[in-house]
Structure formats: C-alpha cells, structure tokens
Structure 1
C-alpha cells in the first residue's frame, strides 16, 4: 500500500465518521460486539445452554 493510498483510505474513513450520526455509529458498534462468554470460551457456553434447555423440555414432557 503506497503512501497516497493510505492517505486516501484515512480521508475516506474520516469523512464517513464525520457524516455518520453518533447514534448510528453506536448502533453499528453494538451489532459487531460479541458477548464476553463467546469471546472468552467460544461456542461452549452456547452449546451447553442448548443442551440444558433440551433436557429441561424433555423432563417437563415426561412429568406431564
């Protein structure tokens, strides 16, 4: 990447930042942010939660 391309990239980002309302930038940031459990442990907490929900629903059906 040449210096000229780098400056052009920075100017494009700066213009986008200045033209975009703060609320929209904040919303985009929230959409990209992943939960801390996924960040630290990957899909393990999600899969465990799915397993527990499945077991709970199975137990409820058996008790009825």
Structure 2
C-alpha cells in the first residue's frame, strides 16, 4: 500500500510542476530537447550508418 501512495504522490507532483510552468517555458524546453536528440538513424541503427558513410567516402577518395 505504501508504494501506491508514493506513486500517487510522485504523479501529483509531476502534474503540478507541469501546470505551474508557463507555456512559453515548456515550449522552449521541448525545442531544446528536440535539438539535442540524436538523429533517427543513430537511434535506430547505432553507429552503422556512420561507419558505412565513412567507408563509402574512403572508397571514393581512393578512386
């Protein structure tokens, strides 16, 4: 029972902090997070796209 009370308390705190922050601040924070997020290629495939791109560029230089 204690864990469910802690969960309700945590969710309530998060909702209140969300409501209390101005809309402009929330939009700015969302934009900052979007800028910092890595590209979808890296998130889905890791370093594989970068490695293939480097390999292709290296073979173009040798030709």
TM-score normalized with structure 1 length? 0.55
- In the TM superposition, residue 36 of structure 1 has moved relative to its aligned partner by 2.1
Offset of residue 4 of structure 1: 1.5
Q: 1:15 to 1:28 in 2, by over 3 A?
A: farther
> After TM superposition, where is structure 1 displaced by more than 4 Å over at least 4 residues in a row?
none
Q: How many residue pairs end up in the alignment? A: 58
Please tell me the root mean square deviation across aligned C-alpha atoms, in Å.
3.0
How far the C-alpha of 1:49 sits from its partner, in A, is: 1.8
- Structure 2 regions of 5+ residues with no counterpart? none
Give ranges in structure 1 of 5+ residues lacking alignment.
none
Corresponding residue number in structure 2 for 1:38: 42
TM-score (norm: length of structure 2): 0.56
Cα deviations across residues 24-59 of structure 1 (Å, max 9, x unaligned)?
Answer: 331244146442222332221021123334x17x83
